[in-house]
Amino acid sequence: MELRHLRYFIAVAEEGSLTLAAEKRLHTAQPSLSRQIRDLEYEVGVQLMIRSVHGIELTAAGRAFLDHARLALTQAEAATEAARRAAQPPRKLFAIGFLTGYEMDWLPAVMEILRAELPSTEVVIHSQDSPDLAAGLICGKIDLAFMRPEKQAPGLKFRLLRKDPLIVLMPRDHALAARSSIRPQDIASQTFIGVSPVRAPTTWAAINDYLKPIGVKPDHQAENLAMGISLVASTGGIGLLPLYSQNLLPKTVVSRPIRGTPPTVDLVIGYNEANTSPLLKSILAKLDDLKFRVTKSSSR
């Protein structure tokens, strides 16, 4: 018994017709197909199909044989695919982490730089908070991360990409939305949405240093970027978030710049100094090119 016998039998059983199976599925002549089915039945030793002017019907033996034939064919195809994969050179694995939201700006530029390596490299993307990215770098699960410069991160190195100004988020129908920029004192009388000092310590510190002199304390605390935007929309309050967050705003939320000199947070590339990945070294050597690509793209 050969695999083609199983393939022919399955095609006839599913089409319910020798003619349709021969023409539509197998692209062979009907007499040849009939002969193959007879050969299969002879080898199995029982009648599998009943032929009539109305088409083909499976016998009880044929119905039992069909399930096993499908399984055998599937396993044969899986074995073939496994052999082909095993014969290919192993692909390198390179894991890149992004502070949630930054992948929109930076991932296309990174992939462009890695283009020559992609056929032999499997790129894995992680989207997490900065402390989680630092943990991934430390334990070796992530090779490179776009993140904040975490203080409690032994063994990690950081390279500055840019300083992101904080902007003010508010509902589209908020009274302050009519203004072109927002002063610190404008925030003092509003419901304020803060960020988590645990999940976003760098941003939390920048906001706290900026608003502490005017006595603003958060009425609500967001655990992540999405929650911050949602709280602004649902409470009618105001929040401060890095500039990149404006790429993720729904239509009901708008952003305004801070008047004067706004506070900033550093965006860095983080990596483990013990990581010897050639791809990591390649990207670090092309940081200027990477920054240029992102700047060029965002200015269009």
Are 8 and 21 spatial neighbours (Cβ–Cβ below 8 Å)?
yes
Kindly give the pairing relationship between strand 49-52 and strand 253-257.
unpaired
Q: Is residue 208 scored above 90 in pLDDT?
A: yes
Q: How confident is the model at residue 116 (pLDDT cuts 50, 70, 90)?
A: confident
pLDDT digits (tens, 9 = 90+) for 242-288: 998 988 899 999 999 999 999 999 999 999 999 999 889 989 999 99
User: What tokens does 204 get?
Assistant: 């939390």
Q: How confident is the model at residue 300 (pLDDT cuts 50, 70, 90)?
A: low
**How high is the pLDDT of residue 27?**
82
Across the range 226-245, mean pLDDT stands at: 94
Across the range 23-51, mean pLDDT stands at: 83
Using alpha carbons only, give the angle 18, 23, 25 rounded to the nearest 5 degrees.
85
Q: Is residue 200 scored above 80 in pLDDT?
A: yes
Distances (CA, A) of 110 to 106, 138, 148: 6, 21, 18
**How high is the pLDDT of residue 295?**
83
**How high is the pLDDT of residue 22?**
80
Taking all residues of the chain, what is their mean pLDDT, rounded to a whole number?
88
Backbone angles phi, psi at 265, to 5 degrees: -130, 145
Across the range 7-19, mean pLDDT stands at: 82
Q: Is residue 84 scored above 80 in pLDDT?
A: no
Q: Is residue 90 scored above 70 in pLDDT?
A: no
pLDDT digits (tens, 9 = 90+) for 183-199: 999 998 899 999 999 88
Are 144 and 97 spatial neighbours (Cβ–Cβ below 8 Å)?
yes
Taking the model in full, what pTM does it have? 0.68
pLDDT digits (tens, 9 = 90+) for 148-157: 999 878 899 9
Backbone angles phi, psi at 66, to 5 degrees: -60, -45
Are 171 and 236 spatial neighbours (Cβ–Cβ below 8 Å)?
yes
Which residues does residue 165 pair with via DSSP β-bridges, in sequence order? 264
Distance CA 43, CA 49 (A): 14
Across the range 55-78, mean pLDDT stands at: 83
**How high is the pLDDT of residue 169?**
97
Question: Which residue pairs, CB below 8 angstroms and at least 24 apart, start in 293-296?
Answer: 293/108, 293/109, 293/112, 293/113, 294/105, 294/106, 294/109
Q: Is residue 54 scored above 80 in pLDDT?
A: no
For every residue of 191-213, DSSP letters joined together read -EEEE-TTTSHHHHHHHHHHHGG
Q: How confident is the model at residue 136 (pLDDT cuts 50, 70, 90)?
A: very high
What percentage of the chain carries pLDDT values higher than 90? 48
Q: How many CA atoms lie within 13 A of 33 on its CB side?
A: 21
Domains of the chain: 3-87 (1.10.10.10), 92-161+266-298 (3.40.190.10), 163-265 (3.40.190.10)
Are 171 and 289 spatial neighbours (Cβ–Cβ below 8 Å)?
no
Within a 10 A sphere around the Cβ of 67, how many other Cβ atoms? 9
Which residues does residue 95 pair with via DSSP β-bridges, in sequence order? 124
Q: What is the SS3 assignment for 73?
A: helix
Within a 10 A sphere around the Cβ of 136, how many other Cβ atoms? 20
Which residues does residue 50 pair with via DSSP β-bridges, in sequence order? 57
Are 268 and 147 spatial neighbours (Cβ–Cβ below 8 Å)?
yes
109, 49, 73: which is closest to 290 by C-alpha? 109
Q: Is residue 25 scored above 80 in pLDDT?
A: no
Q: Is residue 35 scored above 90 in pLDDT?
A: no
Are 264 and 164 spatial neighbours (Cβ–Cβ below 8 Å)?
yes
